[in-house]
Structure 1
Amino acid sequence: MIKEKAFAKLNLNLHILANPSYKKKTGYFQIHFINSELNLYDELTFEAQPKKISLICNVKELQTKENLVYRAASLLKKEIGNSQLGVKITLLKKIPVCAGLGGGSSDAAMTLRSLLQLWNVKKKATMNKICSSLGSDVFYSMRGGLCEITGIGNKVKSIQHKPFSLWAVLVTPAVQKPSTSWMYSHLHIDKIGNHVYKLRNMKKALLNGDKNIFLNSIYNDFDTTIEHLFPEVRSIKNSLHKNGALAEYVAGSGLTVVGIYDTEKLALMAFNNLQVQYKTLVWTNIKS
């Protein structure tokens, strides 16, 4: 039996580049991100069983063959080519679903890593092919930590940095986005890819340990579009700001809103205050 934690991801910089030729060639937008992990995680347990792949989840609507965990296990088994392999997977879901925090991708990446061990795979499987089938965020989740991501999300490298201590309060509104692809389809091309200098500034701030420049460099190209489509996001940002957040922005393609705090005490105070107003919220630290 293998027990593991799959950590949520947090985009610290998210830039979508308006490069028509790249999109025509690949079918995807070219992106440039800085990602980190949050100390917020789903828990997974893997138990070997003959031939069959089964999934048990505390969120019943996620207990399907369409779940990225089940798909990851199935794709890996197919790639290995051994019909005798099987696994019983138990997923305890704690990361908000469809919220821009990469929970599904993190679960899938942990499934791949764990099954390589559980099934004692000696022949290296074609992980790039499997990750591409599961979604571009899986590439980052296979590595984790503080990373720079380029291409369509498939090029991931660690970033040198000084350790830092920051906390986050995450508020997920009741309304859900239709899908990530829907969010991409509603972007305004003339309003994206214009602030990549903030990513360069953030890399310097991380290397030098400059918290002020770091905070001023946080950016997400989805922010403007999401605020326009979902007015409650602006309201949540205002609530976080009134409760002492140093920066407020949307996580990934939404719709979770992130408030950044300097200390655990301030984050916990904001969390307690906002519990009266919002149903789905979490406070945690950003892993450095």
Structure 2
Amino acid sequence: MTLHETAWAKINLALHVRARRADGYHDIESLFAFADAGDLLSAGMDERLSLTIAGPFADGLSDGEDNLVIRAAQALRDAAAPGRGARITLDKRLPVAAGIGGGSADAAAALRLLARLWQVEDEPLLMRIAASLGADVPACVRSRTLRGEGRGDRLDLIDDAALVGMPVLLVNPRIPLATGPVFRGWNGEDRGALASGPPLDAALSGRNDLEAPAVALVPEIGGIVSALAAMPGVRLARMSGSGATCFALFDDAEARDRAAASIADRRPGYWQLAAVLR
């Protein structure tokens, strides 16, 4: 028996950085949303744990014990399924170091997938393991519209009726951008809290405090955001996470698809994903 799971692409509709913390993380406030597409994972029972990586963005990725998917699998096995194994395959369809979940989303999907395969029905355990793996992993386990605070792992589900099904276009210049240098480039200025209330309104009135330091490292980001913001039918254009992926929300799929065609014509080497919010 082989089971399948999607590592949904994470989108930070807004990301406010409030303070540096002594533990090396930052206090943030973010609105997480998720596209209805992403990397694909599959797994079947086996005597040991193994990981095979394929797909358009597989090059250079380790399939060893340093991979977050293997670390997630080992943690779940040790906590709730001793002696179990699995053959895991990761079809890597999203760019690496791109601000849309990446390894965090893959680890989260592995936890959901192996919990089904090994019949582990303990969501609090999954969330504890997720928190030990990285700040974004708990949000990616849930993969629903969320408000995150603290490191991003204090999560509240929010009413997402206005967002579910909204067309979204993701664009990446195919330039990997590590999270650490972007956070180190933040100027330390607390520019204020993320608004409460309906998530789309909060996103529209919000910002991404990492966009300026990311643009300083990858200037192409600024051009993508400007190009997306100028498209007809766009509701919101912004960088996601620590970059370099940018996104735009649209009134309808036709406007999104026209924008995708325009970007492809003007920047043919860029990666794109046309999707809707889930």
Fold match (TM-score > 0.5):
yes
1:27 aligns with 2:24: yes
Q: Tell me the residue number matched to 2:268.
A: 278
Per the TM alignment, residue 15 of structure 1 is displaced from its structure 2 partner at its CA by: 1.0
The residue identity in structure 2 corresponding to 1:29 is H
The residue identity in structure 1 corresponding to 2:48 is K
Per the TM alignment, residue 123 of structure 1 is displaced from its structure 2 partner at its CA by: 7.5
Per the TM alignment, residue 171 of structure 1 is displaced from its structure 2 partner at its CA by: 1.3
Is the contact between residue 68 and residue 107 of structure 2 (CA under 8 Å) also seen in structure 1? Answer: yes
Cα offsets for 1:194-247 (capped at 9, x unmatched): 132xx32xx4234xxxx6x45632421111222233221112222223333333
1:171 aligns with 2:162: no
Per the TM alignment, residue 136 of structure 1 is displaced from its structure 2 partner at its CA by: 1.0
Per the TM alignment, residue 126 of structure 1 is displaced from its structure 2 partner at its CA by: 4.3
CA RMSD in angstroms comes to 2.3
Q: Tell me the residue number matched to 2:219.
A: 231
1:14 aligns with 2:15: yes
Counterpart secondary structure, 1:77: helix
List alignment gaps of at least 5 residues for structure 1.
none
TM-score, structure 2 as length reference: 0.87
Is the contact between residue 101 and residue 251 of structure 1 (CA under 8 Å) also seen in structure 2? Answer: yes
The residue identity in structure 2 corresponding to 1:41 is G
Find the aligned partners of 1:52 and 1:124 in 2 and give their Cα distance: 22
What pairs with 1:246-285 in structure 2 (closer than 5 Å)?
246-276=235-265, 277-279=267-269, 280-285=271-276
Is the contact between residue 11 and residue 35 of structure 1 (CA under 8 Å) also seen in structure 2? Answer: yes
Q: Please, which of 39, 52, 56 is the counterpart of residue 55 of structure 1?
A: 52
Per the TM alignment, residue 256 of structure 1 is displaced from its structure 2 partner at its CA by: 0.7
Q: Residues 174 and 95 (structure 1 numbering): CA distance in 2 closer, same or farther, change over 3 Å?
A: closer
1:150 aligns with 2:137: no
Q: Which has the higher helix share?
A: 1
Task: Identify which range, 46-55 or 124-133, moves more after superposition.
Answer: 124-133
TM-score, structure 1 as length reference: 0.85
Cα offsets for 1:121-149 (capped at 9, x unmatched): 46888445522332111111121211111
Per the TM alignment, residue 55 of structure 1 is displaced from its structure 2 partner at its CA by: 2.7
The number of residues matched between the two structures is 270
Find the aligned partners of 1:45 and 1:173 in 2 and give their Cα distance: 28
Counterpart secondary structure, 2:212: helix
1:5 aligns with 2:6: yes
Counterpart secondary structure, 2:198: helix
Is the contact between residue 237 and residue 257 of structure 1 (CA under 8 Å) also seen in structure 2? Answer: yes
Q: Tell me the residue number matched to 2:67.
A: 67
List alignment gaps of at least 5 residues for structure 2.
none
The residue identity in structure 2 corresponding to 1:148 is R
Q: How many percent identity over aligned positions? A: 27
Is the contact between residue 237 and residue 246 of structure 2 (CA under 8 Å) also seen in structure 1? Answer: yes
The residue identity in structure 1 corresponding to 2:31 is I
Q: Residues 122 and 38 (structure 1 numbering): CA distance in 2 closer, same or farther, change over 3 Å?
A: closer
